[in-house]
A = this chain, B = another copy of it.
Amino acid sequence: MILEKTAFTEDSVENMISGESTFKVNIQNDIYNTLDLYPSALLNGIKTTLIYPATEKHIAKYTAQDMHLITETAQDYESITLPYLNREQFNIQWVFNILEKKTESERIVFEDSNPETGFILLPDMKWNTKQMEDLYLIAIIHKHGIKSLRDLTPEHLPLLRNILNKGLSAILDKYHVPASKLRVYLHYQPSYYHLHVHFTHLRFNAPGSGVDRAHLLSDVIDNIELMPDYYQRKTLSFSSKENEKLSVAFSEAGRI
């Protein structure tokens, strides 16, 4: 069970500072006062995710633990990461459920159904869709078999440009947030190996938007245009939890 406190909304703040909340004063100094405010329970919900039954991998994913930075050369990808991916055979049935509209179809914001360049755009689980300050959507591509950044070559440029252009225009249409307010990026390593793209509001310090994990989609397109085999040659650094299996594999190979 994962508990997350959510961002304030304009409505809830108005109600919180009205007469119905109780409070306790902690410090008073000149014009500065600190208090604890206790709004009514319904104004102050906690976003909860229940994964049941949870696997060891789920537990590792959410356990607070030390991170380290891993430097993956092209050679490391071939000799460590790829064998790890083949060995683990992750279950991504939930992704196919979304693409086949068996689940969450009512949450779809936009779809381009082209099998080569199409995708489904929907709000990330972390976003309650109520306020724009922490806007977070995910584009999941229809095409199967593109695991991550490492697989991308010039043949995927139409797909990547399509996600960038149509994703941004769908968000403008539906939420009135322009492209200049959005950060559009891929994760490396991703949390699941079916290509997907993150759209978050620039004002939102989204988890995973740091330089140690995020790659702007516009940079990805530009890099492939500059050098067709960029993502097959580039050394990529990423942060990883110490007890994750991929970390262990790098550690066993003497690469940490």
**A235 with B215: CB separation less than 8 A:** no
**B23 with A48: CB separation less than 8 A:** yes
Other-chain residue from B13, B22, B226 in contact with A41 (beta carbon distance below 8 A): B22
Q: How far is the CA of A211 from the CA of B179 in the complex (A)?
A: 16
**B34 with A64: CB separation less than 8 A:** no
How many A residues face the partner with a CB closer than 8 A? 81
CB-CB nearest in chain B for A45: B36
A108 contacts B by Cβ under 8 Å? no
Binds B, one of A67-75, A146-154, A155-163, A189-197: A67-75
Please report which residues of chain A, range 222-256, place their CB below 8 angstroms from some CB of chain B when the two chains form the complex.
Answer: 222-223, 226-227, 230, 233-235, 237, 239, 256
A interface, over-half SS: mixed
A144 contacts B by Cβ under 8 Å? no
Please report which residues of chain A, range 116-151, place their CB below 8 angstroms from some CB of chain B when the two chains form the complex.
Answer: 125
**A218 with B237: CB separation less than 8 A:** yes
Q: How far is the CA of A202 from the CA of B222 in the complex (A)?
A: 27
Please report which residues of chain A, range 34-49, place their CB below 8 angstroms from some CB of chain B when the two chains form the complex.
Answer: 34-42, 44-49
Tell me how far the C-beta of A28 lies from the nearest C-beta in chain B, rounded to whole angstroms.
8
**A33 with B45: CB separation less than 8 A:** no
Q: How far is the CA of A205 from the CA of B54 in the complex (A)?
A: 27
A216 contacts B by Cβ under 8 Å? yes
Q: How far is the CA of A24 from the CA of B68 in the complex (A)?
A: 37
Q: How far is the CA of A74 from the CA of B179 in the complex (A)?
A: 20
Given A27-B104, A125-B27, A222-B235, the answer on whether A182 and B69 have CB atoms closer than 8 Å is yes
Which residues of B lie under 8 Å from residue A90 when comparing CB positions? none
A19 contacts B by Cβ under 8 Å? no
**A42 with B38: CB separation less than 8 A:** yes
Given A203-B67, A211-B209, A226-B227, the answer on whether A46 and B50 have CB atoms closer than 8 Å is no
**B37 with A51: CB separation less than 8 A:** no
Tell me how far the C-beta of A65 lies from the nearest C-beta in chain B, rounded to whole angstroms.
9
Which residues of B lie under 8 Å from residue A40 when comparing CB positions? 41
Tell me how far the C-beta of A100 lies from the nearest C-beta in chain B, rounded to whole angstroms.
12
**A212 with B216: CB separation less than 8 A:** yes
Other-chain residue from B39, B179, B210, B214 in contact with A46 (beta carbon distance below 8 A): B39
Q: How far is the CA of A16 from the CA of B205 in the complex (A)?
A: 26
Of the A-B pairs whose beta carbons lie under 8 Å apart in the complex, a sample of 7, sorted by A's number, is A3-B13, A27-B104, A31-B51, A35-B49, A38-B46, A44-B46, A68-B180
